[in-house]
């Protein structure tokens, strides 16, 4: 009889461990996916930032070229202002995408309660006769 209970416990333990291993794989894959998404977003933002820098540099160069001609400088300034509006919205987009994003593991309350319970995942019951049982509490798995 004890041998059957030990075998049942061993099989049950294997099921619990397999479940935990599967959940670990799933959670690690999810974290890896989030990390890859963040990396891709940062690369995209890096490209956008370089483009913004090049556009700004080009606008400065055009303004300097027209310093001596007031009417051409006026036109170049108007174009630069329009470009700056676009650059500003692009910078705001970068600011929004690079916000302080944090990833945390939220523990399941049911599992936390189960782990805090003295009986844990299982307990031993001795059957004396039909309908009459003695419960033995195990303190560890």
pLDDT score at 140: 45
Domain limits at 139?
A: 107-141
Give dist(CA 117, CA 20) in Å, integer: 18
| pLDDT tens digits, 34-55 | 888 888 888 888 888 888 888 8
Predicted TM-score (pTM) of this structure = 0.61
114, 118, 120, 124 alpha-carbon torsion, rounded to 10°: -140
Q: What is the mean pLDDT of the chain?
A: 81
| pLDDT tens digits, 74-98 | 887 888 888 888 888 877 877 777 6
| pLDDT tens digits, 12-39 | 999 999 999 999 999 999 999 988 888 8
- Asked if residue 132 belongs to a domain, the reply is yes
- Asked if residue 113 belongs to a domain, the reply is yes
pLDDT score at 28: 94
- Asked if residue 66 belongs to a domain, the reply is no
- Asked if residue 112 belongs to a domain, the reply is yes
Alpha-carbon distances of 131 from 74, 86, 106, 109, rounded to whole Å:
98, 79, 41, 33
Number of folded domains that form the chain: 1
Residue 138 pLDDT > 80: no
- Asked if residue 44 belongs to a domain, the reply is no
- Give residues with Cβ within 8 angstroms of 136, minimum separation 6: 123, 124, 125, 126
- Asked if residue 130 belongs to a domain, the reply is yes
């Amino acid at each position: 009889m004890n041998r059957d209970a030990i075998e049942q416990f061993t099989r049950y333990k294997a099921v619990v461990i397999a479940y935990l291993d599967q959940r670990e794989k799933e959670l690690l894959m999810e974290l890896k996916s989030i990390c890859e998404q963040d990396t891709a977003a940062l690369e995209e933002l890096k490209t956008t930032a370089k483009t913004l820098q090049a556009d700004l540099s080009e606008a400065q160069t055009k303004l300097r070229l027209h310093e001596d001609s007031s009417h051409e400088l006026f036109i170049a300034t108007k174009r630069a202002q329009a470009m700056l509006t676009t650059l500003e919205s692009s910078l705001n987009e970068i600011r929004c995408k690079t916000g302080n994003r944090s990833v945390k593991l939220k523990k399941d309350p049911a599992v936390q309660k189960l782990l805090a319970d003295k009986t844990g995942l299982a307990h031993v019951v001795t059957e004396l006769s039909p309908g009459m049982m003695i419960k033995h509490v195990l303190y560890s798995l």
